[in-house]
Structure 1
Amino acid sequence: MNLALIHSRAVIGMDAPLVTVEVHLSLGLPAFSIVGLPEASVKEAKERVRCALINAGFDWPARRITVNLAPADLPKEGGRFDLPIAIGILAASEQCQSDKLANIELAGELALSGEIRPVHGIIPMVVSSQQANRQLLLPEQNGAEAALVEANHCLTANHLLAVTAWLNDQQPLPIAENNQADCNAPEHPDLQDVIGQQQAKRALMIAAAGRHHLLFYGPPGTGKTMLASRLPGILPTMDDSEALESAAVYSISHQGFQASNWRQRPFRAPHHSSSAVALVGGGSHPRPGEISLAHRGVLFLDELPEFSRHVLDMLRQPLESGQITISRAARQLDFPAQFQLIAAMNPSPCGNWGNPNVACRSTPDEIRRYLNRLSGPLLDRFDMSLEVPAQPDQGLYQQVPDGPHSANVKQIVEQCYQHQLDRQGCANGHLHGRVLQQHCQLNPDNSRLLQQIIEQFGLSARAQQRILKVARTLADLSESDTIESNHISEAIGYRAIDRLMQQLAT
């Protein structure tokens, strides 16, 4: 047998297209060539595979070896094709049986000793191989991640010799296992640690219950970052579908997915010096950015005006659509980006505008330039904004924690969130179009009240919709079937940034 066909998979965005590894041994001077649009890391496989086979005790064929990675127009990168190439050479040179190769897909990077190292993008590969009705043979270290999708579908191996022994019916390979009982419960900071700021705590609970975007502003040291870091601890627990979506994004990223983080909502807090590619994704080989890594979780932007305005405005489209599209000349890739945006900022460059305890050193023009770094359309996409005022310094360190624990708040949030799912199939923060009109109807008096506020502050139609969404969440928290005037009034109260910008304009 001079020709062997091995099935493997590439990873392109969130997809794992099939790659057929064709290995042919022919007469001629000994040579080894790889064709089929391989990247540099794939071309280097010839040295890794050669050393791995020799060190594992196999004979290196003194033939002309040609490896074709089909389809030829699909870019291939990484070390995932090392194992398929090695098995293809062994099968073509009749050093191992090939009966099982038609129903198996292989992926893994080889060490020079023959050990199999882990690769990224496992979850899309498992899903795609399932759809093709073939088993997947993976590195042992990827087994826990693969078992999150399907426990009995994937085989694992830690060495090339183990794979050949299985192909030769000499010993079985273990099935991928993931003991989720070993996953540690996340230890989030407790909301009770924040002293005072009761209104901000309530706003955080409302944002968690309805999955609303929230903006805190206030002087330095008032607890804005503390509050934001406690949001993951009160968010509803992810179901298996959401957890799999989040895990798939991490699986294709260079960070990789840790099985111990299963069903934990991500919390991403990039620095304000982050580039557009780091935040929204991209690159010559597009990778998910922070907004995709925060999918089904929280993206926290501290010191919001310090981010580049160009970078922030790139968030506007994914905030509405829940995904980001990266377009390149060769292809276009979609990454999920349904995240909850939490941001914090100071009201002025010095941070003390409006602080009764400290004099503001910034001039009105400096304050205008500072706040004008944030575009109006971006601010419109925050459902809620709230001032976090400075607290009296006297005896602050002597005060004891107050308010409910995060665990108690989470119970309220989960009950409210489940009610939304039962009623409309999504959180209130994700309502759009006719569904929004259906579940956020107002009586004539409340409609007039809302219209007066819209005209007074010159709010957009998008801001009006967001007020309705917050009011719907407030009604759900109070177990009311209809939106009442007190819900409208409180929802309007969470438009502090609009009042701040109006004050600055006058």
Structure 2
Amino acid sequence: MVQRVHSGAVYGIDGYDVTVEVDVRRGLPTFQIVGLPGTTLRESRERVLSAMRNSGLSWPSGRVTVNLAPADVQKQGAAVDVAIAVGISACSRDDPPPPVRRDAVLLGELSLNGELRPVRGLLSIVTAAAGRGASVFVVPGVQAWQARLVPGITVLGADHLADVVAWHRTGAGLRECEDADEPRRAPEAPREAVSFFALSAPAARRLAVLAAAGRHDTLLVGPPGTGKTRLCRTIGALTPACSCEEAVEVTRIQGAAGLARRAHLCGERPFRAPHHTVTRAGLIGGGAGLRAGEVTLAHHGALFLDELAEFAPAVLDALREPLEEGRVAVSRGPGARFWPANFQFLGAMNPCRCGSFGSSRRACCCTASARARYGNRLSGPLLDRIDLFVEMEEAADWTLHDGVVEPRAVSALWEEARSQVTTAYARLNRISGAAGGSRRSPELSECRRWLDRDSADYLDRAKRSLGLSIRSLIRTARVAHTVAALAGRHRVRRSDVAEALSFRREALPTLSRR
């Protein structure tokens, strides 16, 4: 008699159903797993055998064959360990379990003593299985909170294989887990970010507040030591925490990538900072096993690329689609998968190879052609998708006040900025339904609704004088909309457009020469 037990696996960041079929027949005692098992699953034979024996469960005599359906999809991970063990144990019984237990989805990796261990991508697997109608899930107890994030299902937490087998036979031994909690408050901002913000000049604080409130894509250019990296990290720390829905999606992606280490849902936004040697597959996704790239891991958070011009031009150009659409197409095999990539881009770079162009302290040793080649590593279409361009000045003129700032004043400045950002972010959400954090570029007609007649005429004149493209025009309108939101207004005024235009690369002396 063939026993079927439902389980699941993860491919990239997407979960899919796996049906474990177990057949025991007379013959020489062997144990074989078929159905394209990956390396981890091929090793599960030893884990399952030891776990069953150490749990006091009998091992059937004869030939044991386990099939993982669908057989044409390679399975990775150890989430089906417990399903294999339960299926083998059920083969020794003549009475099948009732449908409520027969149709349950069993997930968990087995240790050699029978304990259930966490699995990668559990939330993705549960989400996919619930979407096709599964309603009862048995998961490792330490991960039950993740499964409870999916509404309308029954989650049973288990710590040991013997408990799962007993429940599968009798329906007793496991209890339903409570509902998932709301996301816990994001951790306090790093002390260095708070201090840097307080010690920064007003122009730097204004930039940080503006970029965080609208989650605007930002590029900082300046000599080394001007605070580009720390300002980008400060922007990430200022951005409001994730909503409940965003936190669930971030948890799902990080869990599938093996990055989830918390025992609760957290509202902290991801902040990814890959090295400049990252490959296209590492940034966009793909490669062996179809892994999520940095743009997907930064979903609902920030992607910080330091030393931007040192990245390979082909790698940088791969950012065009996610910056425009908020998703990325990862092609592998017969089709393409679309993964979320709604991130805030933060970039920092030197103005030239030696880094001293525009510095009042050090002379630049690069030729004009060398500076042009360095700047041309960033293509025009990529730069067209960035909202804020800032030329960072020397530290003496930009970052430090005279005197010492008291700790209370530091906290007060930070809390005031956080309050401004949170209020403006919520106002943008109410107006557009998808705050400045939306990667979807609005239509020009939608931008016109934000502007009064005077500001619209002013923006049209700026378009002609600066040679702005339609995309740059839309990005400028979005920044002006955020400026208005920070001022507590729904309509954009001429002064808001003027401030937004001051952040365009066409209006900046160094960047406009690229």
Do these two structures clear the TM 0.5 threshold for a shared fold by scoring above it? Answer: yes
Query: How big is the shift at 1:438?
Result: 4.9
Aligned to 2:142: 141
Contact 2:10 2:77 in 1 (8 A): no
Aligned to 1:114: 114
Aligned to 1:4: 3
Query: How big is the shift at 1:462?
Result: 0.8
| Paired residue secondary structure (1:137) | strand
| Paired residue secondary structure (1:188) | coil
Q: Structure 2 vs 1, CA of residues 15 and 394 (structure 1 numbering), >3 Å: closer, same or farther?
A: closer
The CA deviation string for residues 54-112 of structure 1, in whole angstroms up to 9 with x for no partner, is 22222221111121111222221111111111100000112997335323110111122
Bigger CA drift: 390-399 or 107-116?
Answer: 390-399
> How many pairs does the alignment contain?
503
Q: Structure 2 vs 1, CA of residues 185 and 246 (structure 1 numbering), >3 Å: closer, same or farther?
A: closer
Bigger CA drift: 448-457 or 481-490?
Answer: 448-457
| Paired residue secondary structure (1:212) | coil
Aligned to 1:339: 343
Contact 2:80 2:107 in 1 (8 A): yes
Query: Which structure 2 residues correspond to residues 350-429 of structure 1 after superposition, within 5 A?
Result: 350-392=354-396, 399-401=403-405, 405-428=413-436
Contact 2:451 2:493 in 1 (8 A): no
Query: How big is the shift at 1:151?
Result: 9.6
Query: How big is the shift at 1:123?
Result: 1.0
Contact 2:183 2:266 in 1 (8 A): no
Query: How big is the shift at 1:359?
Result: 2.1
Bigger CA drift: 463-472 or 97-106?
Answer: 97-106
% same residue: 37
Q: Structure 2 vs 1, CA of residues 303 and 178 (structure 1 numbering), >3 Å: closer, same or farther?
A: farther
284, 291, 314: which one pairs with 2:288? 284
Q: Structure 2 vs 1, CA of residues 95 and 269 (structure 1 numbering), >3 Å: closer, same or farther?
A: farther
Aligned to 1:127: 127
For the residues of structure 2 that align with 1:259 and 1:316, how far apart are their CA atoms? 35
For the residues of structure 2 that align with 1:71 and 1:145, how far apart are their CA atoms? 26
For the residues of structure 1 that align with 2:398 and 2:47, how far apart are their CA atoms? 67
Query: Which structure 2 residues correspond to residues 142-161 of structure 1 after superposition, within 5 A?
Result: 142-150=143-151, 153-161=154-162
Aligned-pair Cα RMSD in Å: 2.6
Contact 1:13 1:287 in 2 (8 A): yes
For the residues of structure 2 that align with 1:417 and 1:148, how far apart are their CA atoms? 25
Bigger CA drift: 170-179 or 71-80?
Answer: 170-179
For the residues of structure 2 that align with 1:188 and 1:153, how far apart are their CA atoms? 36
Aligned to 1:256: 260
Aligned to 2:53: 54
Aligned to 2:450: 440
Query: Which structure 2 residues correspond to residues 193-212 of structure 1 after superposition, within 5 A?
Result: 193-194=196-197, 195-212=199-216
For the residues of structure 2 that align with 1:26 and 1:498, how far apart are their CA atoms? 78
The CA deviation string for residues 301-351 of structure 1, in whole angstroms up to 9 with x for no partner, is 111111111111111111111111111124422211000011111112222
Q: Structure 2 vs 1, CA of residues 493 and 396 (structure 1 numbering), >3 Å: closer, same or farther?
A: closer
Query: How big is the shift at 1:463?
Result: 0.7
The CA deviation string for residues 442-496 of structure 1, in whole angstroms up to 9 with x for no partner, is 41x4344323333333322111111111111112222233222111111100114
Q: TM-score by structure 2 length?
A: 0.90
| Paired residue secondary structure (1:24) | strand
Contact 1:146 1:176 in 2 (8 A): no
Query: How big is the shift at 1:169?
Result: 3.6
Contact 2:452 2:492 in 1 (8 A): yes
Aligned to 1:66: 65
For the residues of structure 1 that align with 2:295 and 2:512, how far apart are their CA atoms? 32
Aligned to 1:328: 332
Query: How big is the shift at 1:372?
Result: 1.1
For the residues of structure 1 that align with 2:136 and 2:180, how far apart are their CA atoms? 21
For the residues of structure 1 that align with 2:508 and 2:157, how far apart are their CA atoms? 59
Contact 1:121 1:253 in 2 (8 A): yes
Q: Structure 2 vs 1, CA of residues 111 and 128 (structure 1 numbering), >3 Å: closer, same or farther?
A: same
- 1:458 maps onto 2:467 in alignment: yes
Q: Structure 2 vs 1, CA of residues 394 and 93 (structure 1 numbering), >3 Å: closer, same or farther?
A: closer
Aligned to 1:271: 275
Query: How big is the shift at 1:215?
Result: 1.0
Q: TM-score by structure 1 length?
A: 0.92
For the residues of structure 1 that align with 2:459 and 2:96, how far apart are their CA atoms? 74
| Paired residue secondary structure (2:235) | coil
For the residues of structure 2 that align with 1:90 and 1:461, how far apart are their CA atoms? 65
Query: Which structure 2 residues correspond to residues 8-87 of structure 1 after superposition, within 5 A?
Result: 8-87=7-86
For the residues of structure 2 that align with 1:178 and 1:423, how far apart are their CA atoms? 32
Q: Structure 2 vs 1, CA of residues 280 and 497 (structure 1 numbering), >3 Å: closer, same or farther?
A: farther
Contact 1:6 1:101 in 2 (8 A): no
Aligned to 1:90: 89
Contact 2:9 2:75 in 1 (8 A): yes
The CA deviation string for residues 412-450 of structure 1, in whole angstroms up to 9 with x for no partner, is 11211211222220124635126633533441x434432
* 2:47 aligned partner, one-letter code: R
Bigger CA drift: 163-172 or 372-381?
Answer: 163-172
Q: Structure 2 vs 1, CA of residues 471 and 396 (structure 1 numbering), >3 Å: closer, same or farther?
A: closer
Query: How big is the shift at 1:503?
Result: 5.0
* 2:105 aligned partner, one-letter code: E
For the residues of structure 2 that align with 1:408 and 1:394, how far apart are their CA atoms? 21
Query: How big is the shift at 1:387?
Result: 1.4
* 2:364 aligned partner, one-letter code: C
For the residues of structure 2 that align with 1:111 and 1:483, how far apart are their CA atoms? 61
